[in-house]
Amino acid sequence: MKGVILAGGSGSRLAPLTRITNKHLLPLYDRPMVTYAVEALVEAGIQELMLVTGGAHAGEFFRLLGNGHEYGIERLFYAYQERPGGIAEALGLAERFIDGDRCCVLLADNVFESSLRPVVEKFEAQERGARVVLARVDDEEHLRHLGVAELDGERIVRIVEKPDAPASPFAVTGVYFYDAQVWDVLPALEPSGRGELEITDVNNWYGERGELEADVLDGFWGDAGESIDGYYAVNDFVRGSRGA
């Protein structure tokens, strides 16, 4: 299995911090945000990675990560997204790198307390389809700003973005697993109202076919790019867990 780390986007929700750099290069405690995503995938046993980014600061990722060997990466590739076109469009840039293999896609602003290794192992044993990681969010108001899963056992029926009435307390986090079918799905996507290709549409394609499975991870999950408050909440968690 290969890994794709998505580190593009304008980072407008973290302005003005992102006026001078890519949000995934902002510090979390004592090192850049993107290194936590790298660490999560390497610790999960994925050592061939592609990092997809864009904008004026794309070269800084190469300066930081280099060939990846310092971070335990066997092979590290880079792709450049010319404009912010959505998560699904960014994933499409990795098709030649994945080359028919299964893949794990991680948004670089997501930080998990628990290891992703058990999820990787379950997906490797899964016959076909996709898999996502869920986190329990008990604050209903917060759920209304997230993608929320409607469940049937361990399978997801569909994912609803920013629902007025959340169907469950389980939010979809920024880590996704796909088989080779994803490369047939991506070209058929239509841009959303904001002009982007949405990863939720990819996930719901699998869900409609009964091929979208889920795991609920215990422990902390945070999206450091969600808001300024979210950024500092993740920073506080990392400082508490690693700075002690």
Helices H, strands E: what count in the chain? 9, 13
Q: What was the pLDDT predicted at 243?
A: 59
**Cα distance between residue 138 and residue 202, in whole Å:** 26
**Cα distance between residue 86 and residue 76, in whole Å:** 22
Query: DSSP character for 128?
Result: S
Q: What was the pLDDT predicted at 56?
A: 87
Q: What was the pLDDT predicted at 192?
A: 86
The CA-CA-CA angle for residues 20, 39, 221, to 5°, reads 80
Strands (E), 18-169: 27-28, 31-32, 48-54, 75-81, 103-107, 110-112, 130-136, 147-152, 155-161
What angle do helix axes 58-65 and 34-43 make, rounded to 10 degrees?
50
Averaged in consecutive runs of 10 residues, what is the pLDDT profile of the chain (244 residues)? Answer: 93 88 95 98 98 93 97 97 88 96 97 97 97 96 95 89 95 98 95 87 96 95 95 96 69
**Cα distance between residue 140 and residue 207, in whole Å:** 23
Q: How far does CA 236 lie from the centroid of its chain?
A: 20
Q: What was the pLDDT predicted at 39?
A: 97
**Cα distance between residue 33 and residue 37, in whole Å:** 7
Q: What was the pLDDT predicted at 78?
A: 98
Q: What was the pLDDT predicted at 205?
A: 97
Domain 2-242 has CATH 2.60.120.10: no
Q: CA torsion sign, 162 to 166 to 167 to 170?
A: positive
The pTM score is 0.95
Domain boundaries, the chain: 2-242
